[in-house]
Structure 1
């Protein structure tokens, strides 16, 4: 009689279990956290909220609110005083040249520009205030150059010039535009007087035109 085939007493799936149990155990990997990059698009909800927050401003503007601005072209008859310091003249002459060229570029007539020379930047505010209170000018440009040295004299002059020009404008009631360079060295100053950083004298003149136009046509 043929012997019956041997049967295993192990339950079904035991061989699979044995293979699994003999394999080395590995800790489950944590799910990688995902953070949006700074350049990634913002969620649509945030974009919608941002747009919604601007709607009242747009609606208010549409409802008739005015936005008053000066003009670089509407400058007919505007008159300007320019107070320029002689100290560090190699710089201040370039700044003055830039300012006068900007006036010419925007069609401000030469006869409507008065240039007053003072010894240094410390003396600029009192001259600016005197011109402003004369009633002859729509704006005053204040041009100078203060370069840091080995003493605290730089800080005293720079701070006095800045606060003095501000007070001159407030007391005279017309724009007194601060065009005094405050630099660490001569290279910085020259770079801002027509070098690679542009000409701050020209920028001062452009600011003066816009502010004078604003005061003459909107804030008079």
Structure 2
């Protein structure tokens, strides 16, 4: 569309470097390699650190993130994978269930960037995964970084001493 634009938030700044786990389902490895490269570059640009682990498929991404969160070693997570429509309804199940599970984890307080590509063709996936193109891996990492910044701002703030909100607690 003519005149259409997308607003991209500025990269957040951090007092302490964020630590992220990139969880990738490398079924289409050449596609996910591009997603990972974009995510790693975005995390590095924010002076963050990352580790990576692999799982068999997109349905396992949320479970792996939940397990890794129990270690308390990471501030956030980037879920990366690619689901290309086939001839059966399996596509719909994988897309809907993986996305729903990631959303539920986010609502429980985890900072997750969802970079699972859900596309009709391999060509669409290649365009979206290219770090010098649409860079959806970088976008997913940016989303996780923004959520980490919000968590640090709203969740991890000291509450102070006392019982009241404003006014005297004495």
Q: Which category describes the TM-score, using the shorter chain as reference length?
A: 0.7 to 0.9
Which residue is 2:42 aligned to?
Answer: 102
Could you tell me how far apart the structure 2 residues matched to 1:197 and 1:75 are? 30
Could you tell me how far apart the structure 2 residues matched to 1:132 and 1:144 are? 19
Which residue is 1:48 aligned to?
Answer: none
Shift of 1:180: 0.3
Which residue is 2:56 aligned to?
Answer: 119
* 1:70 and 1:212 in contact (8 A); partners too: no
Could you tell me how far apart the structure 2 residues matched to 1:127 and 1:70 are? 29
Shift of 1:133: 2.9
Larger Rg: 1
* 2:43 and 2:142 in contact (8 A); partners too: yes
Structure with greater contact order relative to length (CA < 8 Å, sep ≥ 6): 2
Q: Deviations over 1:126-161 (max 9, x none)?
A: 001112232221111111100001111111111111
- Find the partner of 1:132 among 52, 65, 69: 69
Q: Give the TM-score taking structure 2 as reference length.
A: 0.79
Runs of 4+ in 1 over 3 A off after TM superposition: none
SS for the counterpart of 1:130 is helix
Which residue is 1:85 aligned to?
Answer: 25
Please, which runs of 5 or more residues in structure 1 have no aligned partner? 1-68
